[in-house]
Amino acid sequence: MTELRWRLADDDGGQGALFEQEVERHIGRGEFRGMEFLHVQARRVINEVPRASRMPFRWTINAYRGCSHACVFCFARPTHEYLGMNGGEDFDRKIVVKINAVERVRAELAPGRWAGDHIAMGTNTDPYQRCEGKYRLTQGILGELLAATNPFSILTKSTLILRDLDLLAEAARRTDVRANFSIGTLDEEVWRMTEPGTPHPRRRVEAVAKLNAAGVPCGVLMAPVLPGLSDRPEQLEAVVKACVEAGAVSITPLLLHLRAGVREHYLGWLAGARPDLMDQYAELYPRAYAPAGTQDELAKTVQALVAHHGGRSVGPRQARSVPPKPPAPPAVSQLQLGV
Ligand code: SF4
């Protein structure tokens, strides 16, 4: 049985200490189809992003740590190492569950304690990963945000979000709500290789259409675009075209980013799956980010495709905000009607 051990090391950017502040104790476990769930009692669930961070949001909720979607490029993998587990198979199969998340959110949103700021969900791991079907923490949290009429955004790769369509639509009628789907590619082979636990990307496109049709503004992060795997112009166009047709309120491309911890996992996988690409990656990624010119080129290509297909592209900082409503048609007076 896995035990949680906070790694309170100086070289983890304070993340182990942060998680120790978030979590009171490890209170039990569950198992299901080869997965292990580590139940923890959270001290607090709405967490402030460290001020030094350049993230375009200040408050986050992440009820789960680890993610069964098991994407080979997942940027959150190193967070498992702060808990004494590895960022490989442990990240995919040992999920930390903040079992009291709904009660904590209710307490933290109480009048007088909370100023009503926007809260971002899905910033670390997917709030609709498979175990949400069992624990329903995201659903409970949405209920609390709705009851408090608190603005929020949510990012996912899972069509399980449609289970909560009525809740989301009601929240969107009362406050600012924004959804985003992450759809990096529609290429079947690349999807199977790189995001083995996620719903088919075509099902995600359909979910984008359903959310927008229900009044929940939903955009798409084309993230991450993988050099040599999903960045051919025809691959990019297939995603853009499908998402614009699905009514995505915005489209934002993001090129792969390989920070320490992710880099080792991804390049280890690539060496086995596509050794022919290793030289290209060595050239593109001497650092965590690909050269600015390569990122700009992708952004421009996608912007041109989005414009061509009649959609709206925005940068990463705008991707979680609610798009402006189209201007109301001018009021038609009786005089204008000439009657
Ligand atoms: S869905 Fe998101 S959080 Fe989950 S493994 Fe994939 S990239 Fe990571």
Distance CA 257, CA 184 (A): 13
With CA atoms as reference, report the closest residue to 73 among 182, 158, 169, 167: 182
> Among the atoms of ligand 1, which is closest to the Cα of residue 67?
4
DSSP secondary structure letters along 180-229: EEE-----HHHHHHH-TTSPPHHHHHHHHHHHHHTT--EEEEEEEE-TTT
Q: Which residue, by CA, sits nearest to atom 8 of ligand 1?
A: 74
Q: Which of 157, 159, 192 gets mutated to test ligand 1 (max ligand atoms within 8 A of its CB)?
A: 157
Closest ligand 1 atom number to CA of residue 76: 8
Q: Which of 74, 221, 225 to mutate to test the pocket of ligand 1 (most atoms within 8 A of CB)?
A: 74
Atom 7 (ligand 1): residue with closest C-alpha?
A: 74
**Tens digits of residue pLDDT in 194-203:** 999 999 999 9
Q: Are strands 46-48 and 59-61 parallel, antiparallel or unpaired?
A: antiparallel
User: Helix, strand, coil: what percent of the chain each, to 5?
Assistant: 40, 20, 40
What pLDDT, on the 0 to 100 scale, is given for residue 64?
96
Q: What is the pLDDT of residues 116-175, one digit of tens each?
A: 999 999 999 999 999 999 999 999 999 999 999 999 999 999 999 999 999 999 999 999
CB 172 within 8 A of CB 216: yes
Is the separation of the CB atoms in 135 and 101 below 8 Å? Answer: no
Say whether pLDDT at 14 is over 60: no
Task: State whether the beta carbon of 76 lies less than 6 angstroms from ligand 1.
Answer: yes
What is the reported pTM? 0.91
The reply to whether ligand 1 has any atom less than 6 angstroms from the CB of 67 is yes
Per-residue pLDDT at 54 = 75
Q: 131 CB under 6 A from ligand 1?
A: no
CA distances from 223 to 97, 162, 253 (A): 25, 21, 6
